[in-house]
Amino acid sequence: MITGIGIDIIEVARVKKAAEAHSRFLEKIFTAEEIRYSETMHNKYLHLAARFAAKEAFFKALGRRISWTAVGVVNLPSGRPELTVAVPEALGFDRASVSLSHLNDYGLA
């Protein structure tokens, strides 16, 4: 049963600007695994923006905000993104799906 649907879009430049302006921005918003993954990519901020959008979309679907780092996006060996959530049972669900997209200046989930 679907209990919520969320969508979000963000400009890559906003994520980059925040990271450059605030030394701990990445650590406050992204999991260590998300940061490591983005560091392996040609345009790390493009991938971080899509993950930021995924977290915002999840918060919208959930109907409330939890810790930014309690939610993460990992890539399965197939390349498909998967949303990871700390203690999903306590939030009242057992599974969450995510789809990511990015194009030059925008990240979307």
Which sequence positions are flagged as catalytic? 60, 102
Share in percent of the chain as helix, strand, coil (round to 5) = 45, 15, 40
Phi, psi of 54 (to 5 degrees): -65, -40
CB 100 within 8 A of CB 37: no
Alpha-carbon distance values, 23 to 30, 82, 94 (Å): 13, 27, 34
Contacts of 49 (CB under 8 A, 6+ apart): 10, 11, 12, 14, 15, 102, 106, 107
